Amino acid sequence: MSYVNNIRMFVRVYELGNMSAAARDQRTSPAVASARISDLERHLGVRLFNRTTRSLQPTENGRIFYDGARRILEAIDDAEAAVMDVTQNPRGTLFVAAPLGIGRRLIAPQVPVFKDLYPQIDVRLRLSDRSIDVVAEGIDVAFHLGLLDDSTLKVRLVAECPRVLCAAPGYIARRGLPADGAALVSDRHDCLNLRFPGAKEFQWTLQTPEGPRRFEIGGPFESDDGDVLTGWALDGRGVVLKPVFEVAEYLRDGRLVPVATATPPVPTQLSSLSPHRRLKDPKVRLFTDFITLHIREAMRRATDGA
């Protein structure tokens, strides 16, 4: 398997464009990654990358070899998946990505349960509110909160996600209760913003009598972690836009109160995304089905009780 491992490392270095990133992806050290690439180059008798202290670029031979190497790995993965289907004994490592709130509340608690059911499947969970490149980062299944543009990935709707604008009673006592989106803007309410590198300007899409409308909002606080925004809202620092399931307990006990109810947020969607070829892998289907059922039930309970 050492030659296959060398090929797998080459493909990840090529796709990520960085030896250290590929080493982290393959759970090894940069030194081991570099040695595997060198072994492969010696075996092939060609240089696959041009290396300098600042950059790593594939050679023409590297670009040619990548296409064939990727097909080799896909064939191996397909063959392994077929055997697992026949033996009903799924195994291997599954790379999963999800937003922080959904990952922490709905997915992470279920990973050990899934592991108990399928002890030969290891799950590597990556949580972040930033946008990710599913293919480039080697993700088997990613959960995405938000409406999707056209995608080359296989997309499956997990659940509709109602959202709510809310704030702490202390904030409302200090700044007043905004009736709608127009009041949020005209009264210059402190809106707590989810922002990460590359994010667009702050806009909240709210449902008005004339239909959905985008409101340009602002405020002194922003973070790339949605749970940080919830904490600030609980501390009375501003108005936050959240999926209902994330703040249901705070709405029930009164620590957060719905605001701008005349123009509620447009609901969003939670979807799972996978590269088409990964869907042949039974462990991908098993995990996606397992988590989807759990998320739908958890969201139903949250929205019924909020």
1-8: long-range pairs with CB below 8 Å, 24+: 2/39, 3/40, 3/43, 4/72, 4/73, 4/76, 5/36, 6/36, 6/37, 6/39, 6/40, 6/43, 7/40, 7/69, 7/72, 7/73, 8/73
Phi, psi of 184 (to 5 degrees): -55, -40
Mean pLDDT in order along the chain per 10 residues (306 residues)? 84 86 84 89 90 82 88 77 61 89 91 93 89 82 80 84 95 95 93 71 85 90 90 96 92 96 92 77 89 89 68
Please tell me if the domain spanning 90-161+269-305 has the same topology as the one spanning 163-266.
yes
Q: What CA–CA distance (Å, rounded) separates 207 from 1?
A: 56
pTM given for the model: 0.66
Query: Which CATH architecture describes the domain 2-85?
Result: Orthogonal Bundle (1.10)
Can you give the pLDDT at residue 306? 55
pLDDT recorded at residue 86 = 44
Domain boundaries, the chain: 2-85, 90-161+269-305, 163-266
**Residue 200 confidence (pLDDT):** 55
pLDDT of residue 132: 80
What kind of fold does domain 163-266 have according to CATH?
D-Maltodextrin-Binding Protein; domain 2 (3.40.190)
Q: How many residues does the chain have?
A: 306
Domain range 90-161+269-305, its CATH number among 3.20.20.100, 3.40.190.10, 3.40.50.2300, 3.30.360.10: 3.40.190.10
